[in-house]
Amino acid sequence: MSPSLVANADLSPVTSGTVKGRVASVYSELQTSRIDHALPLPSVLKNPFKIVDGPASSAAGNPDEIAKLFPNLFGQPSALLVPNGADAVRSDEKLKIGVVLSGGQAPGGHNVISGIYDYLQDRAKGSVLYGFRGGPAGIMKCKYVELTSDYIYPYRNQGGFDMICSGRDKIETPEQFKQATETAVKLDLDGLVVIGGDDSNTNACLLAEHFRSKNLKTLVMGCPKTIDGDLKCKEVPASFGFDTACKIYAEMIGNVMIDARSTGKYYHFVRLMGRAASHITLECALQTHPNITIIGEEVAAKKQTLKNVTDYIVDIICKRAELGYNYGVILIPEGLIDFIPEVQQLIAELNEILAHEVVDEGGQWKKKLTKQSLQLFEFLPQAIQDQLMLERDPHGNVQVAKIETEKMLIQMVETELENRKQEGVNKGQFKGQSHFFGYEGRCGLPTNFDATYCYALGYGAGALLHSGKTGLISSVGNLAAPVEDWTVSGTALTALMDVERRHGKFKPVIKKAMVELDGAPFKKFASMQDEWALNNRYISPGPIQFTGPTSGDVNHTLLLELGAQV
């Protein structure tokens, strides 16, 4: 493949103003080439199917409370699609289906919608698909657009959520449920697909329960979305977007590793998205082999303090200096400090003090802190102290999310290295360089895996709605096999739920899937991390390829969880 003059991107407007939706967009050559990328379907979706119900389901915890919260849905079985001689669904039925994107973007969302649309075209011709705009608020305000073939076309296999956009509103209050019901009635909806994370799927299930309790015909189906990878379970082996996002981050990390090795003088501290769970950080570590990786769940399990984490990093840096390596790459999950109890304690105390006390310049206010919290506060770098004191949300609370953990760690590592230098223990050089890889990964072009997986999730959701199912989450399994052999089912959302006590009431929640310390991905990492720490086993995965080598790769986490060797 030799460089040559190729017609460039900015003169190839696929849609410019002529197609509704991505109005006035211009497409790059690669985006254009992806639009017509044909997606394989699991064979069960290519042929007539019927639904086989599994055994009655329970809940992830507190089944009695879940049963009370979902009297109409609790216990319903999972629904598996299996081949059938003749279609069990009526192909002359015309459905009215709504779809909504909820929460942060994840690559592949557009393909879920394409999948639903194509199912309706293929199996229930004459059906209508409405896209609610701007997330759940679109349902409540009945703000929607009819999704046609032309409308959807330019978004096929494309990143982003801009076809109908997303939002973070929730349908929570009785008034909001009433609004949602009005929309369902007004549009005569047979079904609604909610594409979102754990909260959004919980919300989907509440909506399904509500509609059923009102004897509404509107069925509700969930879809597992989040780049963080923390919405998954046995039946739902992956949330979409994780594969693409991790590969984008891994490309950048791999480049930074080659840079570190070439210059030999920087420690790159890379913060990665993932506030609640450290799946992204773990996956990126498995793909790239950094010298140090901090996994929040491990920090929590070992009850480590910030000082412990700092010492762990500094110990490795010193050992590496002895080996002649004054460089390295360190991965940190964005949610790290949420995993450290002493930090949570400090923040709670600060919130209390800031709400009620005058913060004097002399520092008298610090006497209100417990001894442990004061010690931690004084251990923090000045810039972080300032940030904790100054940047607060509208409720006056300290904004943990604003803390740049990677910069904080660099400063703490610098201080500790300086201490050791004065003790004569450390003779190395240290230059920290901070990075945050976040937004770059949420809206990339979906990998072949995410494109195909999402299409099957959407197509399957259509099939389940058509079969009269509600309160399920679209589940595509057997992902280690060829697409042909993937299974398609719906899992009872109530089966994923537990309750949490909030304001004296039980609230249903789908528990976030955390990194399991006895799971295959973490165990693989744990068995390698000492080797990676001192030897430089960097791997640079390079940019995502859509054809040729690596274009068929699947992320390590999924493969390891499925028992495959990687």
Catalytic residues: 228
Give the interface segment with its own copies, choosing from 113-121, 173-181, 297-305, 554-562 (CB under 8 A): 554-562
Among 98, 160, 224, 296, binds its own copies (CB under 8 A): 160
Provide the 8-state DSSP code for 338.
G
3 or 394: CB nearest its own copies:
3
The three-state secondary structure class of 291 is coil
432 or 471: CB nearest its own copies:
432
Phi, psi of 236 (to 5 degrees): -115, 90
CA angle 34, 36, 40 (to 5 degrees): 95
Q: Is 274 left (phi over 0), alpha (psi -120 to 50) or beta?
A: left
C-beta of 266: minimal distance to its own copies in Å?
A: 8
384 marked ligand binding residue: no
Q: Scanning residues 92 to 111, which ones bind its own copies (CB under 8 A)?
A: 105
Distance from C-alpha of 442 to C-alpha of 245, rounded to nearest angstrom: 6
Q: Across the beta sheet with 432-437, what order do the strands follow?
A: 292-293, 328-333, 267-272, 432-437
Q: Scanning residues 462 to 521, which ones bind its own copies (CB under 8 A)?
A: 479-480, 482-483
C-beta of 243: minimal distance to its own copies in Å?
A: 8
70 or 240: CB nearest its own copies:
240
Write down how long the chain is.
566
> Is 43 one of the binding residues for its own copies (CB under 8 A)?
no
Q: Residue 456's closest CA among 185, 30, 119?
A: 119
Distance from C-alpha of 79 to C-alpha of 281, rounded to nearest angstrom: 33
Let me know: does 240 contact 473? Beta carbons within 8 Å: no
- The letter for the amino acid at 410 is I
Let me know: does 444 contact 107? Beta carbons within 8 Å: yes
Give the interface segment with its own copies, choosing from 174-182, 262-270, 297-305, 509-517 (CB under 8 A): 262-270
Distance from C-alpha of 515 to C-alpha of 296, rounded to nearest angstrom: 8
Among 70, 132, 177, 538, binds its own copies (CB under 8 A): 538
Cα of 262 vs its chain's centroid, Å: 33
Helices 242-263 and 279-288 meet at what angle, rounded to 10? 50
Give the interface segment with its own copies, choosing from 48-56, 257-265, 344-352, 488-496 (CB under 8 A): 257-265
Give the interface segment with its own copies, choosing from 46-54, 338-346, 392-400, 542-550 (CB under 8 A): 542-550
Q: Residue 290's closest CA among 326, 324, 253?
A: 253
Task: Please give the structure tokens belonging to residue 503.
Answer: 């304001």
> Is 113 one of the binding residues for its own copies (CB under 8 A)?
no
Parallel, antiparallel or unpaired: strands 128-132 and 96-102: parallel
Q: Scanning residues 230 to 249, which ones bind its own copies (CB under 8 A)?
A: 248
Among 117, 161, 177, 269, binds its own copies (CB under 8 A): 161
E runs forming strands in 279-393: 292-293, 328-333
Among 183, 294, 544, 557, binds its own copies (CB under 8 A): 544
Cα of 553 vs its chain's centroid, Å: 19
The three-state secondary structure class of 214 is coil
> Is 2 one of the binding residues for its own copies (CB under 8 A)?
yes
Q: Scanning residues 267 to 296, which ones bind its own copies (CB under 8 A)?
A: 268, 286-287, 289
> Is 535 one of the binding residues for its own copies (CB under 8 A)?
yes
Let me know: does 78 contact 53? Beta carbons within 8 Å: yes
Give the interface segment with its own copies, choosing from 22-30, 208-216, 217-225, 274-282 (CB under 8 A): 22-30
362 marked ligand binding residue: no
Q: Scanning residues 374 to 413, which ones bind its own copies (CB under 8 A)?
A: none
Give the interface segment with its own copies, choosing from 53-61, 141-149, 205-213, 530-538 (CB under 8 A): 530-538
334 marked ligand binding residue: yes
153 or 546: CB nearest its own copies:
546
C-beta of 195: minimal distance to its own copies in Å?
A: 13
Q: Residue 458's closest CA among 131, 53, 68, 11?
A: 131
Among 26, 67, 185, 374, binds its own copies (CB under 8 A): 26
Cα of 178 vs its chain's centroid, Å: 30
Task: Please give the structure tokens belonging to residue 394.
Answer: 């509208």
94 or 265: CB nearest its own copies:
265
Among 261, 275, 421, 507, binds its own copies (CB under 8 A): 261
Q: Scanning residues 130 to 159, which ones bind its own copies (CB under 8 A)?
A: 158-159
114 or 447: CB nearest its own copies:
447
Cα of 307 vs its chain's centroid, Å: 29
441 marked ligand binding residue: yes
C-beta of 252: minimal distance to its own copies in Å?
A: 5
Cα of 285 vs its chain's centroid, Å: 17
Q: Scanning residues 409 to 468, which ones bind its own copies (CB under 8 A)?
A: 433, 435, 439-445, 447-449, 452-453
Residues making up the annotated binding site for substrate are 226-228, 265-266, 273-275, 334, 439-442
Residues making up the annotated binding site are 104, 198, 226-228, 265-266, 273-275, 334, 439-442
